[in-house]
Chain A
Amino acid sequence: MEENKSINIQELIELARGFRLDVLTMTSRYSAHLSSCLSAVEIMTALYFGGILRYRADDPKWPNRDRFILSKGHAAPIFYTVLAHAGYFDIARLAHFREIGDELHGHPIQDTLPGVEFTSGSLGQGLSFGIGHVLARFQNGQDYWTYVLMGDGECEAGQVWEAAMSAAHLKVNQLVAIVDHNKYQQTGPISREMSLAPFVDKWKSFGWHTEECNGHDIAEILAVNERVRRVKDQPVVLIAHTVKGKGISFVEADYSFHGRGLSPEQASKAREEILCHSVN
């Protein structure tokens, strides 16, 4: 954290609380993947507001920007929320999530909205796309970093491991795969449905530098990112241990909330919890 003295962790925690409320509102209207957003709130806050990503919201295609690729596209609500608050577009547009006439699609579509680099919604593809950005950087002699946010269930897809294999082979670096490891996929616990174990060892054996952190502790995410930034000769996977539905007790306790929003009564109870309890 030494290198991030200007970052006030408490402010980031409050920011994250506000993002949770935004996501709650967005997903309560037409339904969406609330719990998959809640596990990624601190990661996204750290990336965009903790000084990890270099970007210019008023120049979204700035060539030297760090790249953020949302591979778990069902986390669109937290992505849009963070982009709006970062200044990519008007916050009022969040109210039009999933509505015809605006570009806040159910799952992001590349270049339809400032800051959206990748078309997602079908899992397993973002890491390969990120490798494309790295190869382009090599060709152009640029220096940016590429971050890809993936789900853990997503890592069941074969393409993830094709990408992992090719990244090491092609000597890809300054590529960070963050896995939002919330331990659940749609139909149940990952350990029961399709175990990833030994998850860290798999990445290691594919030639990746591995790191782990508590994905809800912003200070820890920033600290681990400092270590990540010193890795220059390998792709990095950061396995962020998270809780699906984090911040709303009854959503945390019930994985069947994947893909559905809350009733008005549940939403108001959730709102109270988010306002009263801090996540960190």
Chain B
Amino acid sequence: MPLGQLAGLKPAKQLREYFGEAILEAATNNSKIVVLDGDLGNSTGASTVRKALPDRFYNIGIAESNMISISAGLAACGFIPFATSLSSFLLCNAFEQIRISVAIANLNVKLVGSHSGMTTNREGPSSMSIEDFALSLGLPTFTVLVPSDPVTMHRAVQASVEINGPVYIRSSREPMPYIYSEDDCHFQVGKANVVHEGNDVTIIACGLMVPVTLDAAVILEQEGIRARVLDMHTLRPLDQDAILTAARETAAIVTAEEHMITGGMGSAVSQVVAKNCPVPMRFIGIQDRYPRSGSLEELMKSMDMLPADVAAAARDLVLIKRNQARI
């Protein structure tokens, strides 16, 4: 079933196409932006810049380490390089260069990784990017942005240009439906958006799991459970206020991410919850084992990441709360 169908979300093109639009718009408006490609510009969307602004586009070839260090050199000279590839190649091949030349040096390099999560589906796990949150969140100078729809992709790219420092933007080849409309999207880095109101349980989602979670919220609503859904589009800086408000007001939190459940958003959220306001939690995501090849829906089913699974986790927590209340 298409993402967001239960919730009645408006379908969109693949998310990477909006990255292509957004980066072209940004580069057109800012002559300091240059785009570097690991020979996947036609997969990531970055080739829009190659066509329109060829002087500011470099295909460095299948050599991500070189691409990142060159980007760092450009950033040191005042440029705003966007280094682009599939997330897994970008972060895994060049992690050492990202860590040293970008993160430690705190340089103004933007990483944009497409095909994140399990969306390479039938290609198998080698090209899946399911450790990228753990990797990027391991770098304390990085801002980590996870757009969930066309509008937030545009906003994330714009916001990343305004940040003077390293940013990782997670893109995808999945068509992710509209969560927002152009004129009704407050996108502020570090401020989660409430995309569904409720006080029985909170589901904190990011990226592709936002439409999945909105579908889950519909299932829960049919059972009389009102779920609050947060779009945690920024993983660093993490919106601690929104998390703590949710913990206090709903006393139950589910996290949902298209990433290994260790080292990603769920881990980061649980750290905030455990320290300040412990409440029961459930973690939806890839269950610390490698997915196989298959359709995205099959893969999500194998990891209990479908709307029904998210709803089940939320229902669990609501039952626990009710039992506790009885005691």
Chain A residues near B (Cβ < 8 Å)? 109-111, 117-122, 124-137, 139-140, 158-159, 162-163, 165-166, 169-170
Determine if B63 is an interface residue (Cβ-Cβ < 8 Å).
yes
Flag if A109 contacts B58 (CB, 8 Å).
no
CB within 8 Å for A133 and B76 given contacts A128-B69, A166-B60: yes
Contact for B69 among A110, A137, A163, CB less than 8 A: A163
CB distance from B160 to the nearest CB of A (A): 19
Q: How many A-B residue pairs have CB under 8 A?
A: 100
A110 close to B76 (CB less than 8 A): yes
**Nearest neighbor of A111 in chain B, beta-carbon distance:** B105
- The answer on a CB contact under 8 Å between B77 and A140 is yes
Chain B, 203-261, CB within 8 A of any chain A CB: none
Cα distance A169–B65 in the bound complex, in angstroms: 17
A139 surroundings in chain B (CB, below 8 A) = 34, 55-56, 79
Can you show 13 pairs from A to B with CB atoms below 8 A apart? Answer: A109-B105, A111-B105, A125-B65, A129-B70, A130-B73, A132-B70, A133-B74, A139-B34, A162-B65, A162-B66, A165-B63, A166-B70, A169-B61
Interface of A is mostly: helix
With A125-B100, A128-B70, A131-B70 known to touch, is A117 a contact of B65 (CB < 8 Å)? no
CB distance from A61 to the nearest CB of B (A): 10
CB neighbours (8 Å) of A130 from chain B are 73
The chain B residue sitting closest to A128, CB to CB, is B69
Least Cβ–Cβ distance between A110 and chain B, in angstroms: 4
Interfacial chain B residues near A158, Cβ < 8 Å: 65
A132 touches B65 (CB 8 A): no
> A135: which B residues are within 8 A, CB to CB?
34, 58, 70, 73-74
With an 8 A cutoff between CB atoms, is B182 at the interface?
Answer: no
Query: In the complex, are the beta carbons of A132 and B72 less than 8 A apart?
Result: yes
Q: How far is the CA of A255 from the CA of B174 in the complex (A)?
A: 55
Q: Which residue of B lies closest to A117 (CB)?
A: B76
CB distance from B115 to the nearest CB of A (A): 22
A119-B100, A121-B100 are known contacts. Are A136 and B65 too (CB-CB below 8 A)?
no
Q: Which has the most chain B C-beta neighbours within 10 Å: A120, A124, A135?
A: A135
Looking at the complex, which one of A121, A132, A159, A170 makes contact with B73 (CB distance below 8 Å)? Answer: A132
List the B side residues contacting A137 at CB < 8 Å: 77
B97 at the A/B interface (Cβ < 8 Å)? yes
Q: Which residues of B contact A118 (CB under 8 A)?
A: 76, 101, 105
B77 touches A129 (CB 8 A): no
B232, chain A: closest CB distance, angstroms: 31
B contacts, CB < 8 Å to A: 34, 55-56, 58, 60-61, 63, 65-66, 68-79, 81, 96-97, 100-101, 104-105, 107
Contact status A129-B69, CB under 8 Å: yes
Residues of B within 8 Å of A128, CB to CB, are 65-66, 68-70, 73, 97
Q: Among the interface residues B34, B69, B78, B81, which one has the most CB atoms of the partner chain A within 10 A?
A: B69
In the assembled complex, the Cα of A79 lies from the Cα of B236 at a distance in Å of 36
- Shortest CB distance B81–A (Å): 8
Q: What are the residues of chain A within 8 A of B58 when measuring CB–CB?
A: 135, 170
On whether A119 and B101 interact (CB within 8 A), knowing A159-B65, A163-B69, the answer reads yes
Which one, B69, B71, B104, B105, contacts A159 given CB within 8 A?
A: B69
Query: Looking at chain B's contact residues, is the secondary structure mostly helix, strand, loop, or mixed?
Result: helix
B100 touches A136 (CB 8 A): no
Q: A165 vs B79: C-alpha distance in the bound complex, in angstroms?
A: 23
Give Cα A135–Cα B70 distance, bound, in whole angstroms: 8
Which A residues lie within 8 Å of B55 (CB)? 139
Cross-chain contact A129 with B96 (CB below 8 angstroms): no
Is there an interface contact between B105 and A110, defined as CB atoms closer than 8 Å?
Answer: yes
Closest to B73 in A: A132
How many Å lie between the Cα of A146 and that of B129 in the bound state? 36
Which of A121, A126, A136, A170 contacts B78, CB < 8 Å? A136
Q: Quick check: A125 and B76 within 8 Å, CB to CB?
A: no
What's the minimum C-beta distance from A117 to chain B, rounded to whole angstroms? 7
Complex-state Cα separation, A110 to B70, whole angstroms:
15
In the complex, what residues of B have CB within 8 A of residue A122's CB?
96, 100
Residues of A within 8 A of B72 (CB): 129, 132
* Residue among B61, B72, B73, B79 having the largest count of chain A Cβ atoms under 10 Å: B73
Residue of A130, A132, A133, A158 most packed against chain B (CB within 10 A): A132
Q: B68: nearest residue on chain A (CB-CB)? A: A128
CB distance from B63 to the nearest CB of A (A): 4
Contact A136–B73 (Cβ < 8 Å) = yes
A109 and B63: CB pair below 8 A? no
Known A163-B69, A170-B58: A136·B79 in contact at CB below 8 Å? yes
User: How close is B11's CB to chain A, nearest CB, in angstroms?
Assistant: 39
Cβ of B63 and Cβ of A136 under 8 Å apart? Answer: no
Bound together, the chains give a CA A159 to CA B76 distance in angstroms of 19
Tell me the complex Cα distance, A139–B96, Å.
27
Chain A residues with CB below 8 A from B60, complex form? 166
- For A119, give its contact among B34, B66, B78, B105 (CB under 8 Å): B105
CA A121 – CA B105 in complex, angstroms?
Answer: 12
A271 to B56, CA, bound (A): 53
Give the residues in chain B near A134, CB-CB below 8 Å.
73
In the bound complex, what is the Cα–Cα distance between A158 and B76 (angstroms)?
23
Nearest CB on B from A112, distance (A): 9
- Given A117-B76, A132-B69, A133-B76, check contact A125 B105 (CB 8 Å): no
In angstroms, how far is the closest chain B Cβ from the Cβ of A245?
27
| Shortest distance from the beta carbon of B178 to any chain A beta carbon, whole Å | 36
A68–B34 Cα gap in the complex (Å)? 23
Q: Is the CB of A162 within 8 A of B100?
A: no
Contact indicator B76/A132 (Cβ below 8 Å): yes
- Nearest A-chain residue to B56, judged by Cβ: A139
